[in-house]
Amino acid sequence: MSLNRCEQTLYDYVKGHAEERQHWQHKVRAILADLVEAPRAVDRIDSELWRYYEERSAVVPSFGGTERVGGLRRTSMKNLAELLIRLWTEPKPRKPVQAEPDQDSGLRAPGAT
């Protein structure tokens, strides 16, 4: 999965700070449990991550700060949200695929009459 520069900066920061990582692990799990539907959870985590990025950019130099001309522009955090869901939550069980009997093929098992 490819992360944009803002997502990568935030991911590296969270990964390098145990308390922040624990906070986000809990938050991602809680949002996913609350919303159940993955697309809605991704959207919610995306907006939460962006708010957090804005807050951190004011105080953490590695985020580039808000001294850029015009300040920060909203950047998607959806790839990071999807990555965190994959890393920090249990995968949903897939529905088993049932094989349909192949009655039309005319093939019979050896020894069958």
What pLDDT digit, counting tens, does each position of 2-16 carry? Answer: 999 999 999 999 999
Whether 109 is in a domain gets the answer no
Tally of domains in the chain = 1
Is 53 inside any structural domain?
yes
Domain range for residue 57? 5-88
- The answer to the question of residue 77 being in a domain is yes
Containing 108, the helix (H) or strand (E) segment is: none
Predicted confidence (pLDDT) at residue 103 exceeds the cutoff of 60: no
Q: What is the pLDDT, as a whole number, of residue 102?
A: 55
| Distance in angstroms (rounded) separating the CA atoms of residues 69 and 82 | 30
Of the chain, the end-to-end C-alpha distance in Å amounts to 53
Location of structure tokens 């955090």: 77
DSSP secondary structure code for residue 58 in this structure: T
Judge whether residue 86 has pLDDT over 60.
Answer: yes
The helices-and-strands tally (H runs, E runs) of the chain is 4, 0
The distance from CA 112 to its chain's CA centroid, rounded to whole angstroms, is 52
The C-alpha angle with vertex 51 and arms to 15 and 91, in degrees rounded to 5, equals 50
Residue 61 lies in a domain: yes
In a domain, 111, yes or no: no
Cβ contacts of 13 within 8 Å, gap of 6 or more: 20, 56, 60, 62, 63
Would 112 be classed as within a structural domain? no
Identify which has the larger pLDDT, 56 or 96.
56
- Sequence-ordered strand ranges (E) for the chain: none
62: its two tokens = 């590695």
Residue 73 counted as domain residue: yes
Model pTM? 0.75
